[in-house]
């Protein structure tokens, strides 16, 4: 498995023009629809990174890599490899593997306390709150926010590995912070830039 995290501001306009030219029609149309420059950059960087990493790993040229959008929107490519991308804030994460893989990167920011009960199991909630009780609806404590996004990205990377997306029963996707697993599968937590957390999970059991 290989992964890379890139900063969307590390590329200039000429490089974005090259990414646009290399992308397929669907990706170009998506890039064109974004009003905000950062959205457009995340969209083009994700395509470029996946294309380059799949080309490097397969021996094909980047322009030979073709993407297809499959079940629940999960993309695949015309090479015998798995990949997944995620973007948040200034960063794009992509990983390539010979096994089904899911990745998630999130910028650590304040969150609404109600999301914990909505999305997470009792054990996950206990880990996130760390023995404290939320005093306000918007949680800003950096350690609690980090644990929230650690849990979020762990579960999201699992859901992205299986490809089941938004329809998944998240109570059945259990993150165990002590064992560092999701549904008993080992979780990888790559070094993320300051203010971000990232998770990667891969398994040939799915």
Ligand X SMILES: CC(C)(COP(=O)(O)OP(=O)(O)OC[C@H]1O[C@@H](n2cnc3c(N)ncnc32)[C@H](O)[C@@H]1OP(=O)(O)O)[C@@H](O)C(=O)NCCC(=O)NCCS
Residues that bind ligand X (CB under 6 A): 43, 46, 72-75, 84-87, 104, 119, 152, 155-156, 159-160, 163, 165-166, 170
CB of residue 6 vs ligand X: minimum separation in angstroms?
13
Q: Judged by CB, which is closer to ligand X: 18, or 168? A: 168
CB of residue 59 vs ligand X: minimum separation in angstroms?
22
CB 201 within 8 A of CB 161: yes
User: In b/e form, how buried is each residue of 48-64, taking b as 16+ CB within 10 angstroms?
Assistant: bbbbbbbbebbebeeee
Joined tokens for residue 92: 């794009």
- Matching residue, tokens 């593997």: 97
Q: Judged by CB, which is closer to ligand X: 104, or 202? A: 104
Question: Distance (Å, rounded) from C-alpha 25 to C-alpha 169?
Answer: 34
CB of residue 133 vs ligand X: minimum separation in angstroms?
21
CB of residue 194 vs ligand X: minimum separation in angstroms?
19
Q: Judged by CB, which is closer to ligand X: 55, or 135? A: 55
Please name the residue ranges forming H helices in the chain.
13-22, 25-33, 37-58, 114-119, 122-129, 142-162
CB 39 within 8 A of CB 31: no
Q: Judged by CB, which is closer to ligand X: 117, or 135? A: 117
Q: Judged by CB, which is closer to ligand X: 30, or 60? A: 30
CB of residue 160 vs ligand X: minimum separation in angstroms?
4
């Amino acid at each position: 498995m290989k992964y890379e995290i890139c900063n969307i501001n590390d590329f200039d306009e000429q490089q974005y023009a090259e990414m646009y030219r290399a992308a397929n029609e669907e990706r170009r149309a998506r890039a064109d629809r974004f009003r905000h420059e950062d959205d457009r950059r995340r969209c083009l960087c994700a395509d470029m990174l996946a294309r380059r990493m799949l080309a490097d790993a397969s021996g094909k040229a980047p322009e030979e890599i073709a993407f297809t959008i499959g079940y629940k929107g999960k993309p695949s490519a015309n090479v015998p490899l798995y990949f997944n991308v995620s973007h948040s804030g200034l960063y794009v994460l992509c990983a390539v593997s010979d096994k089904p893989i899911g990745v998630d990167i999130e910028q650590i920011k304040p969150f609404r306390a109600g999301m914990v009960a909505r999305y997470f199991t009792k054990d996950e909630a206990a880990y996130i709150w760390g023995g404290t009780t939320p005093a306000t609806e918007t949680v800003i404590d950096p350690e609690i926010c980090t644990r929230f996004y650690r849990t979020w990205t762990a579960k999201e990377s699992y859901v992205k590995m299986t490809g089941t997306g938004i329809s998944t029963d998240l109570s059945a996707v259990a993150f165990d912070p002590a064992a560092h697993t999701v549904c008993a599968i080992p979780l990888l937590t790559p070094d993320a830039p300051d203010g971000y957390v990232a998770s990667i999970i891969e398994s040939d059991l799915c």
